[in-house]
Amino acid sequence: MAAGQNAEEIAEAALTLDPGEGAALVRRLSSPPKERVWTSVELDGGVVFASVSGKDPSIGHLDLLAVHPDERGRGLGKELVRQAETWLRGQGAAEARFAGNPPCYAWPGIDVRYTAAACLAERLGYERFHVAWNMTADLERADLDTEADVERLARAGVRVRSGVTDAVVAFVEREWNERWAWEAASAAGLHYAERDGEVVAFAAWGARPSWFGPMGTAPHAEGLGLGRVLLRRCLAEQRASGQAQAQIGWVGPLRFYSRAVGARAERVFWLYRRELG
């Protein structure tokens, strides 16, 4: 299954806060992990993606809802949601969520600046149950130099490398989970650190188009400054690809990213859910 060119065009026109990303998001959601059950519904001027969580099949996700600006105001968004809910019920889902279904997702939830989408969710009986946020790194102003740190790490027996390898993917799955492993394997760019031939840290970008993440360091290698080095190398690669800014998605440690690259908390997402009676 794959969404058509029309879905890409609708997403490009509708996602005004994510310029240039609509088509890439449609393509990414059309190529999720092989175990995911998903669908897309297209009506004249609108598209919705829905999927069932691999971890818990009772939870369904509305992954992307886009209505062309010229088609708004005639109930198209409501109809798309209803059709997606009907499909989710048919898959056995007892709950529907406007919330990211990792590892392949568009956003953590509804960006509060897409206010019409939040209003639609609440009008249809969805309740807000969580808040998530992104940080933004200004790639034109951030200090992304790593030369001195890479030399320091080399003297300590740590080598910094780039590229997706089976060893890195296995490390990510062993230390974290299969969802992060899928993101690492699907990344546009990945940097990692080795000590004594063992992978001890990684950072990736582009598994979710244009965003940074995930990233992690094994507990026994913490305190070496690996996170900052790998983060900066990824962001430098994103800058070289033509990005002026990078979204650091679904952030936990605000202070780390703020100090490492001057990132600021910016995008806020409301996560919604409702029972499917």
Residues 126-157: b if buried by 16+ CB within 10 A, e if exposed: beeeeebbbbbbebeebebebeebeeebeeee
Q: Is residue 136 part of a domain?
A: no
Local confidence band at 3 (pLDDT 50, 70, 90 cut-offs): low
In a domain, 61, yes or no: yes
15 shares its domain with 72: yes
Q: For position 62, which CATH number holds?
A: 3.40.630.30
Query: If you ran DSSP here, which 8-state letter would residue 94 be given?
Result: S
Considering the domain architecture, whether residues 117 and 184 belong to the same structural domain is answered as no
Structurally, the chain folds into a number of domains equal to 2
Report the pLDDT value the prediction gives residue 49, as an integer from 0 to 100. Answer: 98
* pTM metric for this prediction: 0.92
For 75, phi then psi, to 5°, come to: 80, 15
How far, in Å, CA of 80 to CA of 86, rounded?
10
User: Other CB atoms closer than 10 Å to residue 120's CB: what's the count?
Assistant: 21
d(CA 114, CA 17) in angstroms, rounded, equals 8
- Domain of 104 in residue numbering reads as 5-131+270-275
For position 182, what pLDDT does the model report? Answer: 97
CA distances from 250 to 90, 99, 212 (A): 30, 11, 10
Kindly report, residue by residue over 48-62, the tens digit of the pLDDT: 999 998 778 999 999
Question: Per-residue pLDDT for 155 more than 60?
Answer: yes
Whether 146 and 123 share a structural domain:
no
Query: Is 115 in a helix, a strand, or coil?
Result: helix
d(CA 146, CA 152): 10
Q: What is the pLDDT of residue 4?
A: 60
**Shared-domain flag, residues 123 and 210:** no
Do both 146 and 125 map to the same domain? no
Residue 261 lies in a domain: no
Same domain? For 150 and 191 the reply is yes
Q: Per the domain annotation, does 152 fall within a domain?
A: yes
Residue 148 backbone phi and psi in degrees, to 5 = -65, -40
The whole-chain average pLDDT of the chain stands at 95
* pLDDT tens sequence across 163-219: 999 999 999 999 999 999 999 999 999 999 999 999 999 999 999 999 999 999 999
User: Within this chain, do residues 121 and 158 fall inside the same structural domain, yes or no?
Assistant: no
Question: Does residue 251 form part of some domain?
Answer: no
